[in-house]
Structure 1
Amino acid sequence: MFNLKQRVYDEFNLKKQADELGVSVWQTPSFLFIIMGLVIIAAMTGIYVVSAHYDSPEVVVISESLVVILLFTIGNSIIRTVEEVAKANKMKTEFVSIASHQLKTPISEMKWQIELLLIKFSTGLSVRQTEIMNEIARSSEKMGRLVNDLLDVARIDQGQLALDKKNVNFCDLANDSVESQKIFAKARNIELVTSCNVDKLMVFADKRRLSVVLDNLISNAIKYIDGKGKVEIFVENVDGFAQVCVRDDGVGIPKNEQDNIAEKFFRSNNSIKNRTDGTGLGLYIAKNIIEQSGGKLWFKSIENVGSEFYFSVPLAIEKETVVA
């Protein structure tokens, strides 16, 4: 009920809409629709009054013409506002895509040079110099992930996120993702537990993109546990879909923020927000990857108790062998 009230409030919060769209309050679609509704009501009432008091058809025609002109003007203003917002959004997406592409090459080169330096000249570096180089390497890795996320967001916004779908053993993929997160989890005193109730669970999906989704959900679960805790990953076959549940006993998500959790750049305002790295893009990308794969992503969360994130992807269709 609270979420419904909040959505209604946001829908008619003209100042907030104006700030988000970068237009005046009177140019927001909600304001213009309200005005149009009032004009229609007033016009219907006015025409009824005019037609009741005047027998002349010319007066009625003129009244209707004025109403049509007024409605056309308001409608045209709405269309122009929407077009301007759409153009601005397209320019923003194109800029992010171009900028990310331009940044990707130098960041990759920097990463390779640092790795080469650490491999070839590690014996000549002091302990402090090695620490600095490792910190630079970690920072370049973060920048690389951010650039990749921005590129994925741009592709999603443009409807160009391509998936290379093949048959993938989902249990193996889940185990690989868990294995890659073990060092991170151990450093934060988090126990990782995996359960796959079948030996082989084949799905038809993009292996690399699916790994991104798993890594994102598992790393989020680890990051949002304040102190010692446990992250459990369950994989099972549910009605023709491979279903994953990533469960944690972390800080959870406030109820009033749960509707926004998969929006771009959104980060929950919980107790350890300022102590975790993140851009607010991971769940947005994950949700789009899963939906484009033919599945869905959802979650359950209780603040100060923990969260359960689920997603499902279709199982691969087994080809029947035809015996001659």
Structure 2
Amino acid sequence: MEQSVRLAVPAAPGAFSRTALASLQGMTKATADAGIAPPDPTGDAGARQVMDGNAMVIVSGPDGRIREVSEKFLHATGYRREELLGMIAERLYADEGGVLCAEIRETTGQGRIWSGAPQVRAANGHLLGTRCVIVPVLDPDGRSRRNVALHLELTGARLTQMEHMIASAFNKMREAVYVVDPATQYLCFMNDFALHEQGWCLGEIGTRTMADTDYHAEKQVIDDLFRMVESDGKGSALFQSDHGARTCEAQAYAITTETGHHRILLLLRDISLQAKAERDRKELLAVITHELRTPLTSIKGALELLKAGAVGALSEQANSLVTIAANNSERMLGLIRDILDMEEIGQDSFEIESEPVDLSALVRNAIEAHRGYGAHLGVSFIDGGTTPGVFVLAEPVRLAQVLSNLLSNAAKVTAPGGTIEIWASREAGCGVIYVRDHGPGIPLQLRDKLFSRFTKSEAPNRSRVSGSGLGLSIVKTIVEKLDGEISFSTETGKGTTFRVALPSL
């Protein structure tokens, strides 16, 4: 069985400090409309008290950089505030191999709290043992706004302090949280959301079991989930609740009290809206795939036959109309392909099957594959000086897709007779690929959102086929799935250079 997380939860039913819990009731009301609302140092008075009180608090933004830090944290670790602001918060934790930080990112990225006992690096290099709860703050659309990390030093930390911190974090959540004694099935703790959902008061917690809740019809599901926790330390399940005909997600974890008693932490979330959105998404994709792509492919094929004279020579006017129709059908097919591609690679379940890739061969093949396209537009692709023997770990087909998009975009903005350069080199432990055009450069108003979906320039391109505005977004997603980075430099009237950096072998 996996080692369980140790949290300060009551050793016996109802042993959680009722006074402490009651004092936290008012802290959640002002932020009940948010997905999760942990301490906000600029707003909620109760959170302000936590920030200035006995807790070591770090607030970090969506980019992982520290935005605020409490005086208690500065005092305990010996840092100056200016040293920490802007630092990646993960650098403070002793985490050989990055396993701990990866777990934190995965958990908070899903809008769930993370708890554990990380070691914090002090300014003098010493490691401080802490108990920590990291609470993600989401906006109403479910996007990450910031993470609030609450730490308590293990040395001299009082149980009541941890009760306050854990209860405060749980009470900010818009999902039901239960702590269950697996031996007796009695509830040891419920957060505000769970109490409101059941219509109970604090005094009922120690006298109730999960069978007394509105989830009694799902007893078998929850019992199976608890058995998973006993064997694996954690478990998850989806089920349809008879209470309100909802789709629910359940997650359970083994935890241990300060006195060594085993407990189960159960989180129940209503995901009915997400489940409906997923069904609608799949139905839309089915329509796109079967009702749009198939007939469009047939239409495009028929138009190409007409252009080729399969039914006789066309007049100049008819040929012009057929050409316009063929170009528009190609544009629509391209949009459908890009939408389906974006959907596929954007899924969490999408996996990259990487293998060693020789960048010299990749560049050579890309130039050869686009020779005909370049001839059509009157431009040429050349190797700008590739360094031989540079290998990266990537999926060849997806990496070729990245280069194809960059090269075709470059060809569209390059004047007839011009050249597009592509080359690869090794830089600081990375294999780097460059694609340079000598076009007009990227307009200033597009530079900050170039990799966003449906970003398109108003300037006409020489291919006469309008893009979907998804290509560069797809490119960025693929590169990030390959653990790489993409960037660009551009100058008005002189062209643009894209840079793709991947970990080298």
Q: TM-score, normalised by structure 1?
A: 0.61
- Identify the match of residue 152 of structure 1 among 311, 334, 341: 341
* Structural RMSD (CA): 4.6
Q: Work out the CA distance in 2 between the residues paired with 1:256 and 1:189.
A: 29
Deviations 1:184-211 (A, max 9, x none): 4455554433234345655443333222
* Higher CA-based Rg: 2
1:98 equivalent to 2:286? Answer yes
Greater displacement, 210-219 / 88-97: 88-97
Q: Tell me, in whole angstroms, the C-alpha distance in 1 between the residues paired with 2:488 and 2:280.
A: 30
Q: 2 CA distance for matches of 1:183 and 1:212?
A: 17
User: Which structure: greater strand fraction?
Assistant: 2
**2:494 counterpart of 1:305:** yes
Equivalences, count: 265
State the secondary structure of the residue aligned to 2:43.
helix
Q: 1:169 to 1:267 in 2, by over 3 A?
A: same
Could you say what secondary structure the match of 1:277 adopts? coil
Q: Secondary structure at the match of 2:421?
A: strand
The answer (yes or no) to whether the contact 1:152–1:161 under 8 Å persists in 2 is no
Alpha-carbon distance in structure 2 between the residues aligned to 1:43 and 1:235: 52
Tell me, yes or no, if the aligned pair for 1:111 and 1:140 is still in contact at 8 Å: yes
Pick aligned residue for 1:125 from 290, 313, 327: 313
Residue 122 of structure 1 aligns to a residue whose secondary structure is coil
Tell me, yes or no, if structure 1 residue 238 matches structure 2 residue 419. Answer: no
Cα–Cα, structure 1 residues 297 and 110, in superposed 2: closer, same or farther, change >3 Å?
same
Residue matched to 2:405: 216
Matches of 1:163 and 1:113, distance apart in 2: 37
Percent identity over paired residues: 24
Matched residue, 1:40? 45
Which amino acid is 2:480 matched to? E
Residue by residue over 1:73-109, the C-alpha shift from the partner in whole angstroms, topping out at 9 and shown as x without a partner, is x9759x9xx9799678656644543333222333334
Q: Greater helix percent: which structure?
A: 1
C-alpha distance in structure 2 between counterparts of 1:198 and 1:236, whole Å: 5
Rounded Cα–Cα distance in structure 2 between residues aligned with 1:288 and 1:175 = 24
Matched letter for residue 359 of structure 2: F
Residue 261 (str. 1) matches residue 450 (str. 2): yes
The unaligned stretches of length 5 or more in structure 2 are: 1-30, 50-166, 176-192, 194-269
Secondary structure at the aligned position of 2:453 is classed as coil
Q: Which whole-Å deviations, capped at 9, do the CAs of 1:271-308 have from their partners, x for residues lacking one?
A: 55898722221111011111212322111223333221
The TM-score, its normalising length taken from structure 2, stands at 0.42
Aligned letter for 1:292?
Answer: K
Which one of 475, 483, 497 corresponds to residue 294 of structure 1? 483
Deviation, structure 1 residue 217: 0.9
Partner of 2:264: none
**Alpha-carbon contact 2:441-2:491 (below 8 Å) kept:** yes
Q: CA deviation at 1:246?
A: 0.9
Q: Deviations over 1:87-143 (max 9, x none)?
A: 786566445433332223333344445556667x63733364566555544433332
Q: Is the 8 A contact 2:420 2:435 kept in 1?
A: yes
Equivalent residue for 2:383? 194
Structure with bigger RCO (C-alpha 8 Å, 6+ apart): 1
SS of 2:409's partner is helix
Question: What's the counterpart of residue 280 of structure 1?
Answer: 469
Of 164-173 and 246-255, the range deviating more from structure 2: 164-173
Q: Distance in 2 between matches of 1:249 and 1:138?
A: 26
Task: Answer whether contact 1:247 1:306 (CA < 8 A) is retained.
Answer: yes
**Structure 2 counterpart of 1:260, one-letter code:** K
Query: Does the CA contact (< 8 Å) of 2:335 and 2:467 recur in 1?
Result: no
Cα contact 1:165–1:205 (8 A) shared by 2? yes
Cα distance between partner residues in 2 of 1:27 and 1:223: 51
